[in-house]
Chain A
Amino acid sequence: MLKVKDLHVYYGGIHALKGLNFQIEKGEIITLIGSNGAGKTSTLRAISNLIKSKGSIKYKDQEINDLNAEKIVGMRLIQVPEGRRIFTALSVEENLLMGAYLRKDNEKIEEDLQYVYKLFPRLKERTKQYGGTLSGGEQQMLAIGRALMSAPELLMLDEPSMGLAPIVIEEIFQAIKEINQENGLTVLLVEQNANIALQTAHRGYVIETGEILFTGNAKDLLHDDRVRKAYLGEE
């Protein structure tokens, strides 16, 4: 569904991504794990074309590296950005409707809205509240809900666990799993929290200083010595 080949990103003189290669099949959850500054966020920003990159990004057999960000959204390749970035001065419902900005199928939009409320009942209790008044976990739910309102075919999540309590992280990753299993939504998950990411995903890629070090089934990676040492804090 998505095939990234030899992806390079430069920030001035800094070579942030040094020829990344990976791919995602339809219906999969894959994860990119790696530490701070490894290039995970740059990868997602390059795919959504928020930053310039060199190399090939093929989505549903179409080269999308030259397309504008909003065109990519129109192709249902949706990103939940790092740090949630919800619209704090808009109400919860307005935030969700922004996700559906490009859609014209009003009945389906309403249906999806109800789906999001069912998935995250806490948002339903707060529809008229400003986004900025929500707790961190609720904001993350809102960010994911907003992305679901874009009717994604491939959903990219950038560190959904960031700054959240373990119990909330659990809840959010449960929801990600549920969306994937019920609707067959393809998910690209970028995480520093390798443990929960590998428990959720089918396959994983380990990324370090802008390169993919190795890849494998999530279960195998969870027990891989290199991963355990580097990312799970075990000796």
Chain B
Amino acid sequence: MFMEQLSNGIALGSIYALTAIGFTMVYGIIRLINFAHGDLYMIGAFLTYTGLTLFNMPIVPSFLFGMVGAAAFGIAIAKFAYSPVFKAPRINLFLSAIGIAIFLENFAMLIWGPETQSFPSVINNKVYSFIGIRISSLQLIILGSTIVLVGILTYVVQYTKLGRAMRCVSQDMDVSKLMGINTDRIVYLTFALGSGLGAAAGTLVGMYYKAVYPMMGFVPGLKAFIAAVIGGIGSIPGAMLGGLIMGISESLGAAYISSGYRDAIAFIILIIILLLKPEGLLGKGIKEKI
């Protein structure tokens, strides 16, 4: 039972982690709590669903279609909804994000309908068990995709010129301009990457629960926010860690305490961590040296 819940929790946690990474990247670069992030996750899931059902593509191209499509949505949102208010007080940007969230939910209802659509089963879900651990092939796919995507992202951010530019822009936009970095382009690119990762998470959830619906991103969006804050907002490894902690504790909590408390557990962890370490587990308090 424990092992089963643990593998469940790791699968759930990797999905939270993927969502939270996109969230934290956008926050890191323009200090925006992107409340539309969960809805991009939903759009990504629906686009993959469309690729599978309408275009009859196999899962991998559909998956990529969902990610790229959501990335395009992310860029368009950044360009038309966020960049006009970049220089305004933060609250305007925040309101714009809420507006976009409402827009995307209704857009999805208009295109795909308000009811829950069943996500086609794309793989033969076998359950493997070894040394007492039972893990399904779907869980393995979720874990595998997360590891691959996070690996690519980490490589890009840490070891490429582009990643270095992203880290600079997230630290100091003005000085990044003085280095000759085209900061607008980096901002759009970050939105694209974040939305693409969110879409991957949405698709994996669709596959896992075999359902997609227009409001599916709402709660995961909040949870991603919590996971990002737990790990230290703006920190990519922090978002990973926060996501995993939340996924595992939710699964275990649901199994051993009560499944009714599933969502409350996330908030309880958030409160405890904010009390003990307000900057998050891997967040850095920034001090200036003279």
Q: Is the CB–CB distance between A81 and B167 below 8 Å? A: no
- Select from chain B the residue with minimum beta-carbon distance to A86: B175
When each residue 142-185 of chain B gets 1 if its CB lies under 8 Å from chain A and 0 otherwise, what string results?
00000000000000000001001101100110110111111100
- Select from chain A the residue with minimum beta-carbon distance to B171: A87
* CB under 8 Å from chain A, chain B span 106-156: none
A50 to B290, CA, bound (A): 24
Known: A87-B168, A94-B164, A98-B164. A78 touches B290 (CB 8 A): no
Q: Is the CB–CB distance between B167 and A87 below 8 Å? A: yes
- Select from chain B the residue with minimum beta-carbon distance to A80: B178
Q: Is the CB–CB distance between B177 and A88 below 8 Å? A: no
A89 to B166, CA, bound (A): 12
B168, B181, B290: the one contacting A90 at CB < 8 Å is B168
Known: A101-B161, A102-B180. A89 touches B167 (CB 8 A): yes
A89 to B167, CA, bound (A): 8
A112 to B25, CA, bound (A): 33
A225 to B30, CA, bound (A): 49
Q: Is the CB–CB distance between A97 and B286 below 8 Å? A: no
A79 to B175, CA, bound (A): 9
In the complex, what's the smallest C-beta–C-beta distance from B44 to chain A, in angstroms? 30
Contacts of B174 in A (CB 8 A): 50, 81, 85
Q: Does A48 contact B (CB under 8 A)?
A: yes
B171, B180, B286, B290: the one contacting A74 at CB < 8 Å is B180
In the complex, what's the smallest C-beta–C-beta distance from A30 to chain B, in angstroms? 20
**Among the interface residues A98, A99, A102, A150, which one has the most CB atoms of the partner chain B within 10 A?**
A98
Q: Is the CB–CB distance between A150 and B180 below 8 Å? A: yes
Q: How large is the interface on B (under 10, 10 to 19, 20 to 34, 35 or more residues)?
A: 20 to 34
Q: Is the CB–CB distance between B181 and A101 below 8 Å? A: yes
Q: Is the CB–CB distance between B182 and A70 below 8 Å? A: yes
Q: Is the CB–CB distance between A136 and B178 below 8 Å? A: no
**Among the interface residues B168, B171, B180, B289, which one has the most CB atoms of the partner chain A within 10 A?**
B180
Q: Does A1 contact B (CB under 8 A)?
A: no
In the complex, what's the smallest C-beta–C-beta distance from B157 to chain A, in angstroms? 12
In the complex, what's the smallest C-beta–C-beta distance from A73 to chain B, in angstroms? 4
Q: Is the CB–CB distance between B179 and A73 below 8 Å? A: yes
Contacts of B171 in A (CB 8 A): 87-90
B161, B168, B289: the one contacting A132 at CB < 8 Å is B289
- Select from chain B the residue with minimum beta-carbon distance to A76: B180
Known: A81-B174, A81-B175, A87-B172. A163 touches B180 (CB 8 A): no
In the complex, what's the smallest C-beta–C-beta distance from B163 to chain A, in angstroms? 11
A205 to B177, CA, bound (A): 27
Q: Is the CB–CB distance between A101 and B180 below 8 Å? A: yes
Closest 6 CB pairs of A and B: A73-B180, A69-B177, A102-B180, A85-B175, A70-B180, A101-B179
Known: A48-B178, A94-B164, A139-B289. 8 other contacts (CB 8 A): A70-B181, A81-B175, A81-B178, A87-B171, A98-B164, A101-B179, A102-B179, A134-B289
